[in-house]
Chain A
Amino acid sequence: MREIYLDNSATTKVLPEVAGVIQDVLTKEYGNPSSLHRMGVAAERVKTEARRTIAGGCGVKESEIYFTSGGTEANNLAIKGAARRNRRRGNHLVTSKIEHPSVLYAFRALEDEGFSVTYLDVNQAGQVNPEDAAAAVGAETILMSLMHVNNEVGAIQPVEEIGRRIKEKNSDVLYHVDAVQSFGKLPVRPSAWHADLVSFSAHKIHGPKGAGALWRRNGVHLEPLLHGGGQEDGLRPGTENMAGIAGFAAAARLALKSREKNFEHLQNLKSRFLAGLEEHISEVTHNGSGEDAPHILNVTVAGIKGEVLVHALEEQGVYISTGSACHSHRPDPSHVLLAMGLKEEEIGASLRFSFSSLNTETDIDQTLEILEQTVESIRLMTRR
């Protein structure tokens, strides 16, 4: 059976070139960058090159990149680190209702520490209104955190306009952007966004799990989450995950090099898929707008249970997701779709298809064919 993997927002397959780099680091260049000898120097060089790749990919200085264990840690470090370090300047934080759990729950934890948090609403397309964002910022506000591309629906936030407007209102506000779902796929431009902190992850771009990074603009102070041997300027101590870092860099190089070509390819796949859905399956609603990122598509298929369709498709070699992967172990409905105004039954019938540059038009066409048959037979069983 052919495997069609359309769950690339959950994670992606590691490319063979990337796996090769990782294996070399694990078995040949396995030194500790802190070691004084030649092996340490070689590892240090691998790390510097990796920094250069990530920094080059978004036009920032390489000395401002800090490697972490992934997007979740980068988000936590940025948000908790900034809030705790700047506490004496104010007590107010702002984010939106559709952030990734690693952002939302970091803010919840800060609320327990006594911070006050504003959670911005979104419109039906899943976007924050820059007007609202600016209005939420006051003299007490020390941090705003927003995601660039939403992981469940693909909505792109107007991060640049929001950055400009909040800085106009209060130039001291720190601005964090979670670019986990956009890096390597859309232009990521921290300086144009007026950002101070940006999070990245490796495994969404065909790199390994357990690797990510935080960009921190020079002069921004963070309180570290961990304390230890002083690696990464003391901001993220612990012996570096060299295999992850090298794999991240290798994956980033490939993604950045073909970014524009891939973008077009993904856009083509998505519109082909959406058109096919509308043609072959009745009562499908697109949860999002035409302006969304090209690799994520969220739809509601009336009369099915999302999870049942996921399992029915897996039986035929097609891998997709309901709402988002982080949600599928919990029965509560997606907070993103709720914020976009969907009803609970629509959320229960929602699916996420997420594409990668490895997907082909054949993948799309075969999935549509399988969907057409499967949706009908499930509707027969679950509709009353």
Chain B
Amino acid sequence: MKALFLVRYGEIGLKGKNRKFFENTLTKNIKRALLDVADCRIHQTYSRNFVEVVDGDAEAVAARLSQVFGIVSISPVAIAPLDLDEIKAVAKAEFEKITRPGVTFKVETKRANKRFPYKSPEVSREVGAHLLINIPDLKVDVRNPEIKLEVEIREHETYIYTRTIAGPGGLPVGVAGKGLLLISGGIDSPVAGWMSMKRGVTLEAIHFHSFPFTSDRAKEKVIDLCRELTRFGGKIRLHVAHFTEIQKELRLKTPERLTVTLMRRMMFRIAERLAEQRGALALITGESLGQVASQTMESINVIEKVTTIPVFRPLIGLDKEEIMNISRRIDTYPISIRPYEDCCTVFLPDFPATRPRLADVEEAEASLDIEALISESLAKTETLDITTNT
């Protein structure tokens, strides 16, 4: 064994009968997240997992684990034999890794192995005394310690840990059903995808491609964004919908100031149709209230009228700055800022309507064969399965 990590999960412990399903999904996700960095064994126990690194890079394992949704925290575990003196020695070594002058601490012991000759309070007392004698300038504080050293007496060995690395929390991807993310290539939509995954959503994504008005590099960008997102939840199926003909029709037949509204309505219609085909239960967008013309309440209202499927907008209350911070944290930012235009910017009119009226919009659409445009776009849709290593 190269290393051992204790993995704690929170919320999913509360889910009654579904608990097993949640736990199994998390275990599966952990396995997948570690597949390419190390050879690991996972031991599922009540409300916690132990990840045993058999071979590979333990640092990389910790980094990956800290990104798996459903995990609340991770602790690297040191192992001692079932012998009190050995336990004291390992505890001291572990403690020395993080101690500082004047620190307060506490030792907490769990004794699962009842054959171990000392009871839990005795072990805590012994280990605590050992630390106090051998490490200068320590204080015990059993109520609110700065360092909690935990000792777990198990069947064949003792686990000792002091450090806690925060996980992302949330629910394991795969427990909440499937959602279809409208992904543009900008900063917001990947963050919206990530936030949905955080609540257990399995993602598929749809991108609207207007070649030659947008380039294949814009498409590559979206593929790369999806690939970043796969790190949080496995494979993502990306649908690249052909949008050029629709752009042309809008351009030739509808008023310029409504272009953005009409374009978004077409996107929602196509996405809803695809969601039905793919068994997705919601659309997910990166909209944030008031950020651009299509994201005012009036626009959102008029646009959403074309669908009956729920539309999730995880970013609705976030500021651009907050969205950018998440985007940097999840590593999608450097991809999002590559300078290739997507169809939302290429055809942006100089003065888009910020308060479109439904009647005007419906009148403008009267000249379009909407059903034919949707079918054509779907017929020309390209499907790509994006995985972490493709």
Provide the residues of chain B in CB contact with A312, threshold 8 Å.
212
What are 9 A-B residue pairs whose CB atoms fall within 8 Å in the complex?
A307-B215, A308-B346, A309-B212, A311-B214, A312-B212, A313-B212, A315-B212, A330-B339, A381-B248
CB distance from A42 to the nearest CB of B (A): 42
Annotate A166-187 by CB proximity to B: 1 below 8 A, 0 otherwise: 0000000000000000000000
Considering the chains assembled together, what is the distance between the CA atoms of A315 and B211 in angstroms?
A: 9
Which listed residue (B212, B247, B252, B256) contacts A311, Cβ 8 A? B212
A331 in the interface (beta carbon within 8 A): yes
Provide the residues of chain B in CB contact with A313, threshold 8 Å.
212
Which listed residue (A311, A331, A380) contacts B251, Cβ 8 A? A380
Considering the chains assembled together, what is the distance between the CA atoms of A312 and B248 in angstroms?
A: 14
Annotate B232-252 by CB proximity to A: 1 below 8 A, 0 otherwise: 000000000000000110011
CB distance from A212 to the nearest CB of B (A): 27
Contact indicator B339/A311 (Cβ below 8 Å): no
Considering the chains assembled together, what is the distance between the CA atoms of A309 and B211 in angstroms?
A: 10
Contact indicator A314/B212 (Cβ below 8 Å): yes
Considering the chains assembled together, what is the distance between the CA atoms of A331 and B217 in angstroms?
A: 14
Considering the chains assembled together, what is the distance between the CA atoms of A39 and B252 in angstroms?
A: 69
Interface residues of A in 297-320 (CB under 8 A from B): 307-315
Contact indicator B251/A329 (Cβ below 8 Å): no
Known: A311-B216, A315-B211, A380-B252. 15 other contacts (CB 8 A): A307-B215, A308-B212, A308-B213, A309-B212, A310-B212, A311-B214, A311-B215, A312-B212, A314-B212, A315-B212, A380-B248, A381-B247, A381-B248, A381-B251, A384-B256
**Nearest opposing residue in chain A for B339, CB measure:** A331
Considering the chains assembled together, what is the distance between the CA atoms of A235 and B215 in angstroms?
A: 42
**Nearest opposing residue in chain A for B214, CB measure:** A311
CB distance from A333 to the nearest CB of B (A): 14
CB distance from B335 to the nearest CB of A (A): 14
Provide the residues of chain B in CB contact with A331, threshold 8 Å.
339
Considering the chains assembled together, what is the distance between the CA atoms of A380 and B244 in angstroms?
A: 13
Considering the chains assembled together, what is the distance between the CA atoms of A310 and B215 in angstroms?
A: 9
CB distance from A330 to the nearest CB of B (A): 7
A329-B339, A331-B339 are known contacts. Are A311 and B248 too (CB-CB below 8 A)?
no
**Nearest opposing residue in chain B for A381, CB measure:** B251
Provide the residues of chain A in CB contact with B346, threshold 8 Å.
308
Provide the residues of chain B in CB contact with A310, threshold 8 Å.
212
Annotate A131-170 by CB proximity to B: 1 below 8 A, 0 otherwise: 0000000000000000000000000000000000000000
Provide the residues of chain B in CB contact with A384, threshold 8 Å.
256
CB distance from A54 to the nearest CB of B (A): 36
CB distance from A144 to the nearest CB of B (A): 35
- Cross-chain pair count, CB within 8 angstroms: 28
Considering the chains assembled together, what is the distance between the CA atoms of A331 and B212 in angstroms?
A: 17
Considering the chains assembled together, what is the distance between the CA atoms of A315 and B210 in angstroms?
A: 12
Considering the chains assembled together, what is the distance between the CA atoms of A310 and B346 in angstroms?
A: 15
Considering the chains assembled together, what is the distance between the CA atoms of A308 and B248 in angstroms?
A: 14
**Nearest opposing residue in chain B for A314, CB measure:** B212
Considering the chains assembled together, what is the distance between the CA atoms of A235 and B213 in angstroms?
A: 47
**Nearest opposing residue in chain B for A316, CB measure:** B212
Report which residue of A307, A315, A330 has the largest number of chain B beta carbons within 10 angstroms of its beta carbon. Answer: A307
CB distance from B324 to the nearest CB of A (A): 20
CB distance from A317 to the nearest CB of B (A): 13
CB distance from B381 to the nearest CB of A (A): 17
Considering the chains assembled together, what is the distance between the CA atoms of A315 and B215 in angstroms?
A: 11
Annotate B200-237 by CB proximity to A: 1 below 8 A, 0 otherwise: 00000000000111111000000000000000000000
Provide the residues of chain A in CB contact with B247, threshold 8 Å.
381
Provide the residues of chain B in CB contact with A311, threshold 8 Å.
211-216
Provide the residues of chain B in CB contact with A381, threshold 8 Å.
213, 247-248, 251
Annotate B51-72 by CB proximity to A: 1 below 8 A, 0 otherwise: 0000000000000000000000
CB distance from B338 to the nearest CB of A (A): 9
Provide the residues of chain A in CB contact with B213, threshold 8 Å.
308, 311, 381
**Nearest opposing residue in chain B for A312, CB measure:** B212
CB distance from A375 to the nearest CB of B (A): 12
Considering the chains assembled together, what is the distance between the CA atoms of A120 and B137 in angstroms?
A: 72
CB distance from B138 to the nearest CB of A (A): 54
Interface residues of B in 244-288 (CB under 8 A from A): 247-248, 251-252, 256
CB distance from B390 to the nearest CB of A (A): 24
**Nearest opposing residue in chain A for B215, CB measure:** A311
**Nearest opposing residue in chain B for A383, CB measure:** B251
CB distance from A328 to the nearest CB of B (A): 9
Considering the chains assembled together, what is the distance between the CA atoms of A329 and B248 in angstroms?
A: 26
Considering the chains assembled together, what is the distance between the CA atoms of A312 and B210 in angstroms?
A: 11
Considering the chains assembled together, what is the distance between the CA atoms of A309 and B256 in angstroms?
A: 22
Interface residues of A in 318-347 (CB under 8 A from B): 329-331
Going nearest first, the 6 A-B pairs with the smallest beta carbon separation are: A311-B212, A312-B212, A381-B251, A311-B215, A308-B213, A308-B212
Provide the residues of chain B in CB contact with A315, threshold 8 Å.
211-212
Interface residues of A in 347-382 (CB under 8 A from B): 380-381
CB distance from A373 to the nearest CB of B (A): 13
**Nearest opposing residue in chain A for B350, CB measure:** A384
Provide the residues of chain A in CB contact with B248, threshold 8 Å.
380-381
**Nearest opposing residue in chain B for A330, CB measure:** B339
Interface residues of B in 161-203 (CB under 8 A from A): none
**Nearest opposing residue in chain B for A313, CB measure:** B212
CB distance from B224 to the nearest CB of A (A): 15
Considering the chains assembled together, what is the distance between the CA atoms of A307 and B213 in angstroms?
A: 8
Considering the chains assembled together, what is the distance between the CA atoms of A68 and B164 in angstroms?
A: 53
Annotate A265-304 by CB proximity to B: 1 below 8 A, 0 otherwise: 0000000000000000000000000000000000000000
Provide the residues of chain A in CB contact with B251, threshold 8 Å.
380-381
